[in-house]
Amino acid sequence: MAANFATRTLTRTSTITINLMIQAVIFVALIGLVLWTMLFTPYGNIHDPLHALRHALYIIPCH
């Protein structure tokens, strides 16, 4: 039995691979979170530099 470290790691990784549909949902949620952070957060350090972008996109409410 030559179950070395690399083999064991790859085996463990392959068993936690998740359903494609769940991946898609997480993907969309992550994109949503990023867009929210970029475009809607009131946190000034992100909100202020992206002010022009927000206005350029036209559909994003700003102030």
Partner 1 sequence: MNRSPFAIIFAGLAAIVAIALLVVAFLGEGQRHGGHEEGEAAPAAAPQREVTAGGFRLNVTLSPEAGTVGEVVTIQGKVTDATGANVRNVRFQLVSHHLEDDVDIFKTSFVAPDGIFNWGNQFWDGTEHEIRITATAAPDASAQFPTLSLKREVAVTPLPPPMWVQIRALLWLLVPIIVGLAIGIPLGLRQPLGRPSVQQAPAAA
Binding site for partner 1 (CB under 8 A): 14, 17, 20, 23-24, 26-28, 30-32, 34-40, 42, 44-51, 59-63
SS3 readout for 1-63: CCCCHHHHHHHHHHHCCCCHHHHHHHHHHHHHHHHHHHHCCCCHHHHCCCHHHHHHCCCCCCC
User: CB of 38: closest distance to partner 1 in angstroms?
Assistant: 7
User: CB of 42: closest distance to partner 1 in angstroms?
Assistant: 6
Nearest CB to partner 1, comparing residues 5 and 13: 13
